[in-house]
Structure 1
């Protein structure tokens, strides 16, 4: 049985490595959404104003959804086996999954 929080963090760090691609796809979708001009991201300059992200959503959506479902399926049994409260576990799992993406972005820049 998994009782320690660092085991769950390690598993989510490993899950975060292949999750870099769907997280960047999600960022691309959110940055090109028509309502994205609220200051968090900027549109890619070569896109025209009337383009919609429907084509990208058609291609990226299934992969993002499959990644979220697989992440949830992997973490659901772990959440019950740890000693952490549910809210802290899911925050730890999300942070552990996002760490490889943050490292890849900082190395790339």
Structure 2
């Protein structure tokens, strides 16, 4: 199963997922905007955007495919790297998800 050369686990994981984190800013923002305007606003935990009156259909037609497509491509890319590393899946998947969110968190914090 692990034929060929094994990669250094942290360099492959961090490098690839930091690069994937740059385009991940778009789906992360879409998910955040959706959550703030509908489910969290319905619970009273956030204020919805006052000009957001298009409903949920545009979000399902545009935002849904963008998020699903990114998640699938990210998953397939990480699966390929996981096969070449010596890390266990229990360690690999949480760390890769957190590293992918670094660019989005950096933009949210404003660093």
Structure 2 length normalisation: TM-score? 0.80
Q: CA deviation at 1:88?
A: 1.4
Matched residue pairs, number?
A: 105
Aligned partners of 2:101 and 2:76: how far apart in 1? Answer: 17
SS in 2 for 1:21: helix
Q: 1:87–1:41: structure 2 CA closer, same or farther, 3 Å change rule?
A: farther
Give the aligned partner of residue 32 of structure 2. Answer: 27
Aligned CA-pair RMSD? 2.0
User: For residue 67 of structure 2, what is the aligned residue in structure 1?
Assistant: 64
Match of 2:103 among 94, 100, 105: 100
SS in 2 for 1:36: helix
| Whole-angstrom CA distance in 2 between matches of 1:41 and 1:95 | 24
Measured against aligned partners, the alpha-carbon deviations of 1:24-83 in whole angstroms (never above 9, x if no partner) come to 0111112222x32336543113346xx632222211111111100100010011122222
1:42 lines up with 2:47 in the alignment: yes
By how many angstroms is 1:95 displaced? 0.6
- Determine the C-alpha separation between the residues in 1 that align with 2:8 and 2:74: 19
Counterpart of 2:77 in structure 1 is: 74
Unaligned runs of 5+ in 1: none
